[in-house]
Amino acid sequence: MHPALPERRRWLQQAGSLVLLLGAAEIAHGAAIVAVRVWPASDYTRITIESDTRLQSQQKVVGDPPRLAVDIEGITLNPALRDLVGKVKADDPYIAGLRVGQNTPTVVRIVFDLKQTVRPQVFSLAPVAAYKHRLVLDLYPQEALDPLESLIAERLRDTHTGASPAAPLPPAPPAVAVAPPVVQAAAGRRA
């Protein structure tokens, strides 16, 4: 028997014991979600998922009722992701609700129940300043909002609800006619 063989066996036993003690979760460290944020606005809603590494995702829009399913690969469900559910408010113009769950051992699925059909734009942002890697989901309406149409609808809604319309402009001052001065040539002078 080779003299180094017992030493090698001992090393393999120790390494094997370490693997069994640590478990799969500690060995195969995936991305850790640091923070989640939701910014609703009238023209779109932005959802940001911040992680210590770049996230890979796939999304699928499902109709009737409208939903958006986003699969984020290489992560496990953690408290930060669970907090996303409570960050969506009832007055969000596009999101009615959402669910978060562990789809497979390494994929988390987020399902957005939508109030209307949307055009999702999903992209990643590199770390900058205090922010780490971010996966950004922008939910735009299927039909782009016309600012003039929105203003008219708001004014009509204010009129029907009895809300006071915007303050009228003050009246313009009366116009004053100014006649050009009349220049007369002096008598006896030549022009």
The parent domain of residue 100 ranges over 27-147
Residue 188 falls inside a structural domain? no
* Element holding 54 (H helix, E strand): none
Residue 110 lies in a domain: yes
Contact 132, 113 (CB under 8 A): no
Report pTM.
0.62
Q: What is the mean pLDDT of the chain?
A: 82
Token code pair at residue 174: 């009366």
**Could you give the number of structural domains in the chain?**
1
For residue 94, tell me if it sits in a domain.
yes
Examine residue 76 and state whether it is found in any structural domain, yes or no: yes
Residue 58 covered by a domain: yes
Query: Going edge to edge, which strands form the sheet with 45-51?
Result: 33-40, 45-51, 133-141, 118-125
87: domain CATH number is 2.60.40.3500
Mean of the pLDDT values across residues 152-167? 68
Q: Which residue has the higher pLDDT, 27 or 112?
A: 112
State whether residue 16 is helix, strand or coil.
helix
10 domain residue, yes or no = no
Confidence of residue 190 (pLDDT cuts 50, 70, 90): low
pLDDT above 90 (res 54): yes
The answer to whether residue 18 is domain-embedded is no
**pLDDT tens digits, residue range 93-145?**
999 999 999 999 999 999 999 999 999 999 999 999 999 999 999 999 988 76
In terms of pLDDT, which residue wins out, 155 or 86? 86
Average pLDDT over residues 181-191: 64
Q: Is 133 among the domain residues?
A: yes
**Per-residue pLDDT tens for 130-140?**
999 999 999 99
**How many whole angstroms separate alpha carbon 24 and alpha carbon 8?**
24
In this predicted structure, the answer to whether residue 37 has a pLDDT above a threshold of 70 is: yes
Per-residue model confidence (pLDDT) at position 24: 46
